[in-house]
A = this chain, B = another copy of it.
Amino acid sequence: MLFMLHIDVSIPAEMPKEAQLALRERGNTRAMQLVNEGVIVRIWRVVGRVANFSVWDAPTLEALHELVMSMPLFPLHEDQCHAIDRPPRDAVC
């Protein structure tokens, strides 16, 4: 079961530079774990923003929910979460 996440991160301006770096590092580490476990099957950065698109694969909705909640940057996200499927060849839209 696939989901497209569009995550747009707003790091508060008043957070010290080192705290920002530490937070982003933890976010990267966790994302790479999920890539290695096959949960995040694709990921692209949005050029010019602290944002990305990623395709998630999870066996159940409950599992997906727990996985998204485990992201360290979570409270800084404005994200959109869309269930997606691979269209049949003749019905793209």
User: What is the interface of chain A, defined by CB distance below 8 A to chain B?
Assistant: 1-7, 9-15, 20, 24, 27-28, 31-32, 42-53, 55, 60-62, 64-65, 68-69, 73, 75-76, 79, 81-87, 89-93
A92 to B53, CA, bound (A): 10
A9 to B10, CA, bound (A): 14
With A27-B93, A28-B90 in contact, do A84 and B5 touch (Cβ < 8 Å)? no
CB distance A3 to B48 under 8 Å? yes
A11 to B69, CA, bound (A): 13
| A3, A28, A49: most-surrounded residue (chain B CB, <10 A) | A49
A12 to B48, CA, bound (A): 22
| A12, A24, A84: most-surrounded residue (chain B CB, <10 A) | A84
CB distance A31 to B93 under 8 Å? yes
